[in-house]
Amino acid sequence: MAEIVNALREALGVPSVLGAAEVAEMLAPVGRQFGAPVALVRPRSTAEVSAVLKIAHAAGQPVVPWGGRTGLVDGCRADGAVALSLERMNAIEEIKPENATMRVQAGCILQTACEAAEAGGLFLPLDLGARGSATIGGTISTNAGGNRVLRYGMMRAMVLGIEAVLADGTVIDAMSPLMKNNAGYDLKQLFIGSEGTLGIVTRAVLRLRPSPASSNVAFLGVPSFDCLPLLLRRLERGTGELLSAFEVMWSDFYRLVTTAPAKGRAPLRHGQPFYVLVESLGANPDADAARFEQVLGEALEAGEIVDAAIAKSTAERSAMWALRDDVGQVLRNGPIFAFDVSLKISDMEAYVADVRSLLHERWGSERLSLMVFGHLGDGNLHLIVGVGDSSAEARHEVETLVYRPLRTRGGSISAEHGIGLQKRDYLNWSRSPAEIALMRTLKHALDPGNILNPGKVVAEVA
Ligand code: ZN
């Protein structure tokens, strides 16, 4: 292992390559989930990334890309691998207001990129809880979703061009800023959402949107699940498609984030089975606010909501969003397993009921806690399950009970978090054998030596 470290130090210089002991020290005491890498390289340029991969490719040395390391599926676990961090490639190279594009390096923190867009009078709409540590490269590699997918799509929809380095060090410059480009295969898609298994994303051209001039946010109490899709479609229709978030909380989760020791205050009294945070973003402050209130009034009249609190200031808007972001409260009651599933809205109520009864049957009400919330507007639910046991056996049992009821409903075991290592063994519950075979064909074609984030997403076959 010392050989590879020496070769990397020779190519990049000693300060750019930390050895195993230095990385372990850097990660301690909380970094055990990232494994034990043999080295951490911090290249300063695409040419250096290419040099690293050439060396690794020749040596058959696994390389695991590290972004903000805020993923939830062990995608950056790097046992025995060289961890590759693009933290020093964090520049925003250019913002072009006339084209509404941003050219950025992969190590740039998402929030920094969002703030730079805003300073240029534009808007990068990707928004998620880890915004302060997730990187552009990481959000591209995982095709991150988050809170505004309903309106703006996932990260894939914001990427116009990409630069990526292949396993053998070849640099693919696909940095075209064009929105329409049907000249052959759309190669950037290979690297978006493939979790660093097909190439290392080093730079990107992102599509920016006009900065919204109005933001309207409300918290709504909903009396039954049946009302949720009616309310969603009413808001879409009624706001002229300005609806940008439709975040649902089952009552247990709402109670959790609005009672001490959580800092959040309840904007609505407890007692409804569902609560929804809705947001509309628009261009006409007065007209948008009036329209928003009118649609909510109509929903109230129709009985789709029974209670509503409309934020009247930036502080109130932030306080409402802080409730949705306070997911950390789920750790209050002991060890948990987190899930991120996708299914048709029309299947959700029965799915959650199935999962609840399966878990209840196995663990009983004293041990079981099940929190459900998520981006209902785009079919994505987050389930947080606690059974008072964090063992691998318990995890496996819980996973089986959460994923099995998805199969018959055509759901997905991962809406937005990806597969990594954690969900790999269940990939065939959401993908057909032919799809998985094609994934393997692509992996083999692009990374014949299996050095890029090996073992993640698709299991190796002997
Ligand atoms: Zn989410």
Q: Are 80 and 34 in contact (CB under 8 A)?
A: no
What's the 89 CA to ligand 1 centre distance in angstroms? 27
Q: pLDDT category, 1, cuts 50, 70, 90?
A: low
What's the 172 CA to ligand 1 centre distance in angstroms? 31
What's the 148 CA to ligand 1 centre distance in angstroms? 10
What's the 286 CA to ligand 1 centre distance in angstroms? 31
pLDDT at 332: 83
What's the 144 CA to ligand 1 centre distance in angstroms? 9
What's the 321 CA to ligand 1 centre distance in angstroms? 13
Q: pLDDT category, 31, cuts 50, 70, 90?
A: confident
pLDDT at 49: 98
Q: Are 246 and 276 in contact (CB under 8 A)?
A: yes
Express each pLDDT in 423-444 by its tens digit. Answer: 999 999 999 999 999 999 999 9
Does the structure show a pLDDT above 90 at 330? no
pLDDT at 240: 85
Q: pLDDT category, 70, cuts 50, 70, 90?
A: confident
What's the 6 CA to ligand 1 centre distance in angstroms? 41
pLDDT at 135: 97
What's the 373 CA to ligand 1 centre distance in angstroms? 9
pLDDT at 228: 97
Mean pLDDT in residue range 364-386: 93
What's the 341 CA to ligand 1 centre distance in angstroms? 10
What's the 78 CA to ligand 1 centre distance in angstroms? 24
pLDDT at 285: 96
pLDDT at 39: 96
pLDDT at 174: 97
Domains assigned to the chain? 2-85 (3.30.43.10), 92-209 (3.30.465.10), 214-327 (3.30.70.2190), 334-429 (3.30.70.2740)
What's the 434 CA to ligand 1 centre distance in angstroms? 28
What's the 23 CA to ligand 1 centre distance in angstroms? 30
Express each pLDDT in 267-294 by its tens digit. Answer: 999 999 999 999 999 999 999 999 999 9
What's the 413 CA to ligand 1 centre distance in angstroms? 13
What's the 382 CA to ligand 1 centre distance in angstroms? 7
What's the 284 CA to ligand 1 centre distance in angstroms? 29
What's the 416 CA to ligand 1 centre distance in angstroms? 7
Per-chain mean pLDDT for the chain: 95
- Of 23-27, 287-291, 294-298, the one with minimum mean pLDDT is 23-27
Q: pLDDT category, 72, cuts 50, 70, 90?
A: confident
Does the structure show a pLDDT above 90 at 379? yes
Does the structure show a pLDDT above 60 at 462? no
What's the 147 CA to ligand 1 centre distance in angstroms? 7
Mean pLDDT in residue range 45-58: 98
What's the 427 CA to ligand 1 centre distance in angstroms? 19
CA angle at 105 for the pair 99 and 107, rounded to the nearest 5°:
140
pLDDT at 233: 96
Mean pLDDT in residue range 240-262: 94
What's the 12 CA to ligand 1 centre distance in angstroms? 37
Does the structure show a pLDDT above 70 at 358? yes
- Of 31-40, 172-181, 377-386, the one with minimum mean pLDDT is 31-40
pLDDT at 27: 86
What's the 339 CA to ligand 1 centre distance in angstroms? 10
Residue 297 identity: G
